[in-house]
């Protein structure tokens, strides 16, 4: 590679992605500032800054889609743990409950994402659709917290407990952030 092409590459990189990733937009920062986990909120949404721009609907849609995707991958993980040999009956029972709660949570988040798309209207229809979204995302969060709590006690031990609990905490935080962005969007509309 010639010096010139290396220089060109550096300039292009500087103009595009290099800065985009490390420089979250002010819109994302200020929207995230009222959530319960602002650092996680900024970090997880900044990747999508180019698509979000300053569009409140796009922001909420991305946050909800992110929560759904992480919940889905945790669902897959819990399903795999269920097949693990040598689980104690109590561990097996906690995993089974958790699998059901996560599955409910995925359904609710997925329904919310569809409902959110109907919110691109004004007036009473907006209020109706967004209140459905708020209700369902809030129930999804309760399901996720219940699952996390099932792994918090002393009854279970070891790696499975730690890794499931860690994932549930992250999923619940991302969902909580999505919910507070949704509430913000509903209030400002
Ligand atoms: C979530 O997953 C879907 C399907 O794989 C994908 O299209 C979407 O971009 C993902 N959302 C985010 C916020 O990454």
Place 103 in a pLDDT band, splitting at 50, 70 and 90: very high
- Indicate whether 14 belongs to any domain: no
The answer to whether 64 and 109 are in contact (CB under 8 A) is yes
Q: Kindly tell me if the per-residue pLDDT of 10 is higher than 60.
A: no
Q: Is the dihedral of CA 19, 21, 24, 28 positive or negative?
A: positive
- Decide whether any atom of ligand 1 lies within 6 Å of the 66 Cβ: yes
Q: How many helices (H) and strands (E) does the chain have?
A: 9, 0
| pLDDT at 22 (0 to 100) | 45
- How many domains is the chain built from? 1
66 Cα nearest atom in ligand 1? 13
Let me know if residue 170 belongs to a domain: yes
- Residue 134 CB partners (closer than 8 Å, separation 6+): 179, 182, 183, 186
Q: Which residue has the higher pLDDT, 13 or 141?
A: 141
Ligand 1: which atom is nearest the Cα of residue 68? Answer: 1
Does residue 142 belong to any structural domain of this protein? yes
Instruction: Rounding to the nearest 10 degrees, give the CA dihedral for residues 75, 45, 182, 57.
Output: -120
Residue 19 has pLDDT above 70, yes or no: no
Whether 54 is in a domain gets the answer yes
Does 16 fall in a domain?
no
User: What's the pTM value of the predicted model, to 2 decimals?
Assistant: 0.84
Asked whether 62 lines ligand 1 (CB < 6 A), one says yes
CA distance 122 to 159: 49
Considering the chain, what is the average pLDDT of its residues?
Answer: 86
Give the pLDDT of residue 89.
84
CATH number for position 159: 1.20.140.40
| Nearest residue to 181 (alpha-carbon basis) of 59, 65, 67 | 59
Structure tokens at 82: 């269920």
CA 125 vs CA 101, 102, 117, 119: distances in Å: 30, 30, 12, 7
Q: Best of 69, 70, 175 to mutate for ligand 1, by most ligand atoms within 8 A of CB?
A: 69
11, part of any domain? no
- Report whether residue 110 contacts ligand 1, using a CB cutoff of 6 Å: no
pLDDT digits (tens, 9 = 90+) for 148-174: 777 776 656 677 778 888 899 999 999
**Residue in 187, 186, 184, 188 with CA at minimum distance from that of residue 33:** 184
Residue-range definition of the domain harbouring residue 77: 24-188
Atom 12 in ligand 1: residue holding the nearest Cα: 66
For residue 69, which atom of ligand 1 is closest to its CA?
A: 1
């Amino acid at each position: 590679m010639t010096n010139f092409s290396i220089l060109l590459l550096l300039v292009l990189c500087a103009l595009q992605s290099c800065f985009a990733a490390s420089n979250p937009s002010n819109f994302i920062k200020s929207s995230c500032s009222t959530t319960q986990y602002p650092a996680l909120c900024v970090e997880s949404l900044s990747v999508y800054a180019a698509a979000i721009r300053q569009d409140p609907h796009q922001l909420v849609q991305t946050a909800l889609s992110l929560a759904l995707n992480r919940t889905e991958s945790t669902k897959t993980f819990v399903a795999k743990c269920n097949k693990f040999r040598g689980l104690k009956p109590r561990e097996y029972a906690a995993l089974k409950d958790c699998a059901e709660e996560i599955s409910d949570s995925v359904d609710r988040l997925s329904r919310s994402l569809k409902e959110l798309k109907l919110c691109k209207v004004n007036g009473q229809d907006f209020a109706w659709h967004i209140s459905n979204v708020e209700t369902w995302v809030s129930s999804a969060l309760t399901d996720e917290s219940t699952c996390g709590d099932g792994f918090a006690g002393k009854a279970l031990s070891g790696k499975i407990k730690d890794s499931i609990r860690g994932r549930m905490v992250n999923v619940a935080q991302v969902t909580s952030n999505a919910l507070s962005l949704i509430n913000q969007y509903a209030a400002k509309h």
